[in-house]
Amino acid sequence: MDLQLRDKVAIVNGASQGIGYAIARMLAGEGTQVVITARREAPLNAAAERLRAESQASILPVPGDIRRGEDCVRIVERTVQNFGRVDILVNNDGAPPLGKLEQFDDIAWDKAVQQNLMSVVRMVRLVVPHMRAVGGGRIVNITALSALQPMATFGLSVATWAGVIGFAKTLSLEVGPDGITVNTICPGRIATERLEKVYSQRPEHAGKDASQLMEDLKKETPLQRIGKPEDVAALVAFLASSQASFITGVTIQIDGGRLGSLL
């Protein structure tokens, strides 16, 4: 299947490792020109070198903190200066700390809102005019399954990513006539550095070594495996493609069957 992504221009945030890196790699493999961003410059530059070695696509690393409005502006400006357009935006980043909701003060909440919600709002506001100028575009937000199936101690992420889902659905109604699609992906348990760190903190997994923890997580998933970053990347590439031109305003879980509801 030809995804018709060659020479499109994508911005992928949080792309120095994990899911973000896998997305950038998948898009670059399809011939997309990719701007990758992350807060730490050295790992970002190393990721860019690996991507260049594997693909024929142009890779532009732009260090930046998408929690900061001025960094969002600089990322989009650099993209347009170098490539002249923006076709695809992938909003992806880490996640706020875990903990019970009652323990977080206003500072913690503000940080979570800036990281998970306002970064998306700002990046979208900046890229939509450029997408309109080229006749359309694709916006894909990466959140987590916990936004659909909340878990204790994940409250900062759940609340702010739920805001992203509402924002994305509303945005899809407003920019649909411009040929811009907006979709949100909710990954379940994906094999990243964060996975072991997060689940080893939960009481039911206390004292277990990494291998036992992974086995337990596999057993709790109907497909009996942990997801790979490439699983998420493949879905992003499809949603960014011409093949998905009639899909917008949806929230899709990619979780090996774990979501415990009919919708």
The distance from CA 246 to its chain's CA centroid, rounded to whole angstroms, is 21
237 lies in a domain? yes
Q: What pLDDT sits at residue 130?
A: 98
Average pLDDT of span 229-237: 98
1 lies in a domain? no
Residues 81 and 52 both lie in one domain:
yes
CB 59 within 8 A of CB 28: yes
Average pLDDT of span 202-215: 68
158 lies in a domain? yes
Of the two residues 232 and 261, the one the predictor is more confident about is: 232
Q: Tokens 């277990």 map to which residue?
A: 208
Residues 90 and 209 both lie in one domain:
no
Q: Give the model confidence (pLDDT) of 156-205 as tens digits.
A: 999 999 999 999 999 999 999 999 999 999 999 999 877 766 665 555 55
31 lies in a domain? yes
Q: What pLDDT sits at residue 208?
A: 64
Q: What pLDDT sits at residue 119?
A: 98
Residues 185 and 200 both lie in one domain:
no
Residues 132 and 206 both lie in one domain:
no
Residues 133 and 246 both lie in one domain:
yes
Residues 175 and 197 both lie in one domain:
no
Residues 105 and 200 both lie in one domain:
no
Q: How many domains does the chain have?
A: 2
Residues 56 and 167 both lie in one domain:
yes
Boundaries of domain holding 96? 9-190+228-254
Residues 60 and 153 both lie in one domain:
yes
Q: What is the CATH number of the domain that holds 139?
A: 3.40.50.720
Q: How far apart are CA 165 and CA 250, in angstroms?
A: 9
Average pLDDT of span 15-40: 97
147 lies in a domain? yes
Residue 231 has pLDDT above 80, yes or no: yes
Residues 180 and 55 both lie in one domain:
yes
Average pLDDT of span 44-58: 96
SS3 140: strand
Give the orientation angle of helix 41-54 with respect to helix 18-29, to 10 degrees: 30
43 lies in a domain? yes
Residues 212 and 83 both lie in one domain:
no
Q: Is the dihedral of CA 125, 139, 145, 147 positive or negative?
A: positive
Residues 107 and 97 both lie in one domain:
yes
Q: Give the model confidence (pLDDT) of 53-111 as tens digits.
A: 999 899 999 999 999 999 999 999 999 999 999 999 999 998 999 999 999 999 999 99
Q: What pLDDT sits at residue 196?
A: 66
Q: What pLDDT sits at residue 173?
A: 98
